Amino acid sequence: MPKNQFVHHDEMRKAGKIKFTDIPVNQYKKTIKQELEEGNFTKKDLLGIYEDMLAIREFETMLQTIKLEANYNGKDFTYPGPSHLAIGEEATAVGQAYLLDENDFIFGTHRSHHEVIAKGLSCIRKMSDKKLIEIMESVQGGRIYKLIKEKSTAKNTKDLARDFFLYGLMAELFAKDNGFSRGLGGSMHAFFLPFGIFPNNAIVGGSAPVGTGVALFKKCNKKKGVIVANAGDGAAARGPVYESMNFANMDQYRELWEDGYKGGLPIIYNFNNNSYGMGGQTKGETMAYGELARLGAMAKNGMHAERVDGWNPLALIDAYRRLKPVAESGEGPVLLDVVTYRLSGHSTSDVMSYRTKEELEEWQAHDPIVAYPADLIKAGAATKKDIEKAQKVAAERNRAMFELASDLEISPYTDYKEHPDFIENFMFSREKAPKLSDDKPDVWLTKEENPRVQQIKNKARYAYDEKGKEYSKAKVFSIRDALFEPILDKFYEDPTLVAYGEDVRYWNGAFSVYRGLTEALPYHRLFNAPISESAIVGTAVGYGMAGGRALVELMYADFIGCAGDEIFNQLAKWQAMSAGGLKMPVVLRVSVGSKYGAQHSQDWTALCNHIPGLQVVFPATPYDAKGLMTTALNGTDPVVFFESQRIYDMGERFHKEGVPTESYEIPFGEPDIKKEGKDITILTIGATLYRVMDAVKILEEKYGISAEVIDARSVTPFNYEKVIESVKKTGKILLASDAVTRGSVLNDFSHNISELCFDYLDAPPAIVGAENWITPPFEYDAEFFPQVSWILDAINEKLIPLKGHVSTKNYTPTEQIRKAKLGV
């Protein structure tokens, strides 16, 4: 917290009470006639709402039929994927989309076909023919457009666009190569960016942090439009959703951020409340809120929360007409509790063990797809003929597009045999994009004026002086400085770069890497995040997805656990799930602790390495830290950037020319030979390098064994060639890192090396990692983390018997088996 915000003793301890303002519940009272009289809608608009509802009903009914009968429209067809249908929720989606345009972005859930279709059709109504054609031509090189032009019977551009959109969506669901994401997104991840439809998220509540990040991007980069983060009522139980709603509404936006950037994030948390989280009833069973809208009370501004009748599209449109400007103006965010009901099951395998027939029939009696057109006719807004025509058009369009999307010739599946690298090519975007916008970066100082820059000028960029004496910590250019330099440079290069995390602004990050940034950067580029790891990473995902570059940090690597979904399911996946449609220029800094015990000292490179789609690096020297950070910040792929608290103050001991002042990249995946040798290879990850160097000295001086030391630097990707070369020479390799041994990256490396160098090995690769325990207090550090003696012991036991060496650590096979049996 900044010092200008005083925490008053008297204020904090004063008696009083907190007053809440009333939360409106279903207050919409207007009739269709009134709406027409007020000029809010034309008859055509009202009929259009029905047409869009019908498109959804047709689509969902088609899926239900296919799932249950393996046939639709007389044609056998199977679709094995998910089908979380929204039959009954059509009005809810169309009402939401009615006022949104392509600058307003929606995010969905596992049940979002209706939201996607409604938003797409709404955009098609609003867009010019020219714009629509431009979009259709740009999607997948125009091949879908070409196909639809040839096959469609549409007589105008808008109808053609409707065919195009429905077809692309259907093909996506059916996992066809012509899908908008080449079939890699599917039902639960369908989206279409040109119409402002962002990815649906199959993780409950997953859209909240990601959508919040896009809202942050809009705010920080002054982009038009609001975000609608859709969620079900079940998602109201998810922590990341609360984290996000708080993140979007932090006091600092109003109290601290500069003029022009003041106000809450432009986002509407739209809970489509169908009273069920899968089959669990929220109100009455799993939730405590009574009414979902009450959750707005978590914020001072009440989040303008309302319960709105989502079964009346006009009620929802009314709410959006009033509240979208609120969200856009910075008064938000907004929370909507939208009443809806699904007449279909949670999925087609739902046997409805959780609700009665009577309940269902009661809601069916008010099915909007019947009630709304009846109201239109009653109000004289449409004729029976209009309604019947709309039904016919919707049914015919859906059937025609199904014929195309289900056809194996017209819409083939991706041939993986022909394109074995199909997904491989989408796992990373592999672009170099030093800046993501040409705008002028917003900074407060010139780089030269920066006090940290001036301080660094006097530091020694190589650890040793001419006489070989090591500079003191105070005088040496450290890893801390080496991280600061490329980050500062990037702030002056890429105007979209934002950095946030816990205590990054005034504390300068818990380990002072950011010292000097506070003076240089406005709040909207560097700010303290709430202690909300899910929101920190999830918003970064959204920020990157929206076209910005985010540098976020989790302080301790252990907190990866708090942001598990956001790192493993969101950050890692969206580039490939969008078939390359989305980029993810996000750098996630995590620091491996020491001294702070079991929950603050874990090297979790293995967890990140395990998840496809993440790049994982772990520099151990200033030279590598700077080069790898530069690469990370120039790229468009997600990076989990590991640092070690043991060595933030370490000078450059290896690169004799010192750490260059100018910018340079170190390519990911390239290990570095820190010391050449001929008898044994030692491959390290992270700070263990320095203990290995000490062990190497003993090996050489006492045992005459010459060791080659390779620093992995990167975990994913990793180029084995240098290691293979070395092992071919030495025939022996030891791998060391501070991660607990079981399941560590070393095992992965070791396995690959065994395979790649089998005939060159004199012994299986030996691994020295931490014990498979909790980290004990720092007083027992040497009992838990790899030590110099452990490295020698392992070499003696497993690689080269060292004459006269007395082992202190038990590396025998018996011990290995015993420990494994006990799971320790």
Partner 1 sequence: MATGVLMPKVGITVESCVITKWYKKEGDAVSAGDVLFAYETDKASVEEEAKVDGTLIKIFAGEGADVPCLTNVAVIGNPGEDYSQFAPATEEEEEEKAEEPAAEVVKTEAKAEETPAAAPVKRAEGEILKISPRARTLAAKLGVDPNLVAGTGPYGRIVSSDIEAAAKDGKVFTKAALGAEGAANVSGTGIGGRVTLSDLANAPAAAEAAPVAEYEDVPLSNVRKIIARSMTTSLSTMAQLTNNTSFDASALLKYRKLLKEKGEALGVNGITISDIIIYAVSRTLKNHRSLNAHLLDDKMRYFNGVHIGIACDTERGLLVPTLFNADKMSLLEISKKSKEIIADTKAGKVSPDLLQGASFTVSNLGTMGIESFTPVINPPQTGILGLCATVERVRTVNGQITTYPAMGLSLTYDHRAVDGAPASLFLKELCTNLENIDLLLAK
Which residues contact partner 1 (rule: CB under 8 A)? Answer: 731, 758-763, 797-801
Closest CA to 710 of 699, 721, 697: 721
Is 304 one of the annotated active-site residues of the chain?
no
Q: Output 662 or 759, the one with its CB closest to partner 1.
A: 759
Q: Which of the following is catalytic: 600, 655, 751, 805?
A: 600
Nearest distance from C-beta of residue 751 to partner 1, angstroms: 15
Q: Output 74 or 704, the one with its CB closest to partner 1.
A: 704
- Angle at alpha carbon of residue 398, lines to 392 and 404, rounded to 5°: 135
Q: Output 600 or 732, the one with its CB closest to partner 1.
A: 732
Q: Output 579 or 761, the one with its CB closest to partner 1.
A: 761
**In what helix (H) or strand (E) does residue 500 lie, and over which residues does it extend?**
strand 498-501
Q: What ranges in 23-89 are assigned the alpha helix state H?
A: 32-38, 43-69
- Angle at alpha carbon of residue 559, lines to 558 and 564, rounded to 5°: 110
**In what helix (H) or strand (E) does residue 723 lie, and over which residues does it extend?**
helix 721-730
Q: Output 565 or 797, the one with its CB closest to partner 1.
A: 797
Nearest distance from C-beta of residue 742 to partner 1, angstroms: 22
Nearest distance from C-beta of residue 706 to partner 1, angstroms: 13
Q: Identify the three-state secondary structure at position 486.
A: helix
The DSSP result for 783-824, as a single string, is: HHS--HHHHHHHIIIII-PPTT----S---HHHHHHHHHHT-
Nearest distance from C-beta of residue 763 to partner 1, angstroms: 6
Q: Output 542 or 765, the one with its CB closest to partner 1.
A: 765
| Structure tokens that stand for 806 in this block | 């007395």
Nearest distance from C-beta of residue 602 to partner 1, angstroms: 30
Closest CA to 606 of 574, 636, 568, 637: 568
Nearest distance from C-beta of residue 800 to partner 1, angstroms: 7
Spatial distance between the Cα atoms of 181 and 169, rounded to a whole number of angstroms: 9
Q: What share of the chain is helix, strand, coil (3-state, %, to 5)?
A: 45, 15, 40
In one-letter notation, the amino acid at residue 375 is D
Nearest distance from C-beta of residue 787 to partner 1, angstroms: 20
Q: Output 33 or 678, the one with its CB closest to partner 1.
A: 678
Q: Output 131 or 805, the one with its CB closest to partner 1.
A: 805
| Structure tokens that stand for 289 in this block | 């809120």
Collect all residues with Cβ–Cβ distance below 8 Å to 809 and sequence separation of at least 6: 789, 790, 793, 794
Pairing mode of beta strands 498-501, 334-339: unpaired
Spatial distance between the Cα atoms of 711 and 666, rounded to a whole number of angstroms: 13
Closest CA to 270 of 292, 289, 239, 240: 292
Yes or no: say if 284 and 311 are a contact pair by the CB < 8 Å rule.
no
| Structure tokens that stand for 467 in this block | 């006489």
List active site positions: 600
